[in-house]
Amino acid sequence: MICIWNFKAHKWHMYITNLPSEDFSVEDIYELYRFRWAIELVFKELKSDYDLGHLLLGNVPLAYIHIYSMLLRFIISRDLYTWIVSLANNAEAKKYTPTMWSRVFSEKALEFLSILNQQFFWNGNIKGRWEKLEGSLRQLPRTRNDPSVLSLRYSEIR
């Protein structure tokens, strides 16, 4: 067992491991567990928001198509998340967690990507469509018991 003080949370973190202390420092083990937890969160997101848990196992080619399309959607989602958060001010950016964005994106991806497609390739006016999407995004956090998480305003990401 190892213990390490978490300065951000102001508490001790304890880990049980069978890694030899001669080969791994306490900080190494802490980092390994931190990365492991990040991987667990990604798999949870893939299973719950991107349907990884509902594979078509009876048909191998369809299962591969499902996995690849899910991974592509995940990559697009994370890139958009990084872009949107980078354009928000610090106070706003803290409201947007990857988990919350994943849920919103999985529910609204088709409309969101359609608006971006129109903006970048058709040069059309998307203000009305964006406001409609934004209104629906503002409703989503209320259903998740987190009213502090709101969508970014279109004017903030232009």
Phi/psi for 3 (5° steps) reads: -130, 140
Q: Based on the domain organization, do 8 and 78 belong to the same domain?
A: no
Q: Based on the domain organization, do 69 and 132 belong to the same domain?
A: yes
Q: Based on the domain organization, do 76 and 153 belong to the same domain?
A: yes
Q: Based on the domain organization, do 45 and 61 belong to the same domain?
A: no
What local confidence, expressed as pLDDT, does residue 57 receive?
67
Q: Based on the domain organization, do 98 and 76 belong to the same domain?
A: yes
Q: Based on the domain organization, do 111 and 141 belong to the same domain?
A: yes
From first to last of the 158 residues of the chain, give the pLDDT tens digit. Answer: 888 888 888 899 888 889 888 899 888 988 898 899 888 988 888 887 777 776 666 778 888 888 888 888 888 888 888 887 887 777 777 777 787 788 878 778 888 778 888 887 876 778 888 778 777 766 655 554 444 444 443 334 43
Q: Based on the domain organization, do 32 and 71 belong to the same domain?
A: no
Q: Based on the domain organization, do 43 and 62 belong to the same domain?
A: no
What local confidence, expressed as pLDDT, does residue 139 receive?
62
For the chain, how many structural domains are there in total?
2
Cα 67 to Cα 2, 50, 62, 72, distances in angstroms? 37, 9, 9, 9
- What is the extent of the structural domain holding 9? 2-49
Q: Based on the domain organization, do 73 and 127 belong to the same domain?
A: yes
Q: Based on the domain organization, do 133 and 66 belong to the same domain?
A: yes
Phi/psi for 15 (5° steps) reads: -130, 140
What local confidence, expressed as pLDDT, does residue 149 receive?
42
12 - beta bridge partners? Answer: 5
Q: Based on the domain organization, do 35 and 95 belong to the same domain?
A: no
Instruction: Show which of 26, 49, 72 is a domain's final residue.
Output: 49
Instruction: Show which of 27, 49, 71 is a domain's final residue.
Output: 49
